[in-house]
Each structure stands twice: as structure tokens, then as C-alpha cells.
């Protein structure tokens, strides 16, 4: 199964006490593939650095690199087309573009703007992180 994580969800997978840590466990266990683009990684870096500092971002980036090397579970995609699925917050389209190009199963998000994906006619569907964990990651 492949997923794309919006930034808010991504930030909450690190640390055992974080609510969405089971997503990181699934990545570490090789049960989940994470699709990212350069635009997404830059947003992850920007927000992490602003909220937690550059050292925290370096640690997170190192873990992503390790996951890519050990399991091949990080799928780096550079979309060649802008699908413009989300009109209410166009900045979120970077996640939709990556998700569509990578043919992921889900965009894991708490952001209701991604509901536009439900009727857009593309494969990825938005799913709330709690539901994603409950339905797909718990044994």
C-alpha cells in the first residue's frame, strides 16, 4: 500500500507518543510506501525547521533516507503535470499531484480541502489519519 502524507500528518508520526506514530511503524516495518516529491520534502523541511529547528529536520530527513535505502519504501516522484484538484487551497495541490502521479492508494490528511479528491476521478482518496490507522495498519 502506498500513501502520501500531508505535512500536518507527517509531523505527527515521529515519536512514540505522537498520535500517528503507527504510520511510522508501518514504514519501518515495510508495510507502507511513502510517496513524496521535491516540493513536498521542501514543505516538510520548511515547517519542521520553523516549528522544531534545523537539527530536528536533519534527524527526520536522515530517517527518510534510511527508509529509502533499507526498504525502498520512500517513493520519490516528480509530477510532470499539475492536476489542480484543490481550488480552495492551491498550495495543497503538490500533494494531489504527487499522489496521482505515484498512483497512491490514499492521501492521509486532516485537511477537508482534500475532499475534492473524492469526486475528481483519480485513484487516490483522502483519508483521515485515525481512520487510516484503524482500517489499514492495526493487526
List, for residues 44-74, the tens digit of each pLDDT value: 999 999 999 999 999 999 999 998 998 889 9
Q: Which residues, in sequence order, are CB contacts of 71 under 8 Å at separation 6+?
A: 27, 30
CA nearest neighbour of 10 among 124, 135, 132: 132
Share of the chain above pLDDT 90, in %: 92
At 70 the pLDDT is 83
- Return d(Cα 31, Cα 11) in angstroms, integer: 19
pTM, two decimals, is 0.95
Sign of CA dihedral 66, 80, 97, 89: positive
The third-level CATH classification (topology) of the domain covering 2-137 is Rossmann fold (3.40.50)
Q: What is the pLDDT of residues 98-123, one digit of tens each?
A: 999 999 999 999 999 999 999 999 99
Q: Domain locations in the chain?
A: 2-137
Amino acid at each position: 500500500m502506498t500513501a502520501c502524507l500531508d505535512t500536518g500528518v507527517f509531523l505527527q508520526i515521529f515519536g512514540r507518543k505522537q498520535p500517528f506514530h503507527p504510520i511510522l511503524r508501518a514504514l519501518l516495518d515495510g508495510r507502507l510506501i511513502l510517496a513524496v516529491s521535491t516540493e513536498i520534502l521542501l514543505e516538510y523541511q520548511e515547517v519542521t525547521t520553523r516549528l522544531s529547528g534545523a537539527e530536528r529536520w536533519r534527524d527526520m530527513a536522515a530517517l527518510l533516507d534510511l527508509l529509502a535505502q533499507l526498504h525502498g519504501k520512500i517513493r520519490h516522484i516528480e509530477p510532470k503535470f499539475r492536476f489542480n484538484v484543490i481550488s480552495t487551497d492551491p498550495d495543497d495541490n503538490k500533494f494531489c499531484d504527487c499522489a496521482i502521479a505515484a498512483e497512491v492508494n490514499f492521501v492521509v490528511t486532516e485537511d477537508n480541502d482534500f475532499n475534492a479528491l473524492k469526486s475528481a476521478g483519480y485513484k487516490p482518496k483522502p483519508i483521515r489519519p485515525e481512520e487510516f490507522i484503524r482500517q489499514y495498519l492495526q493487526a
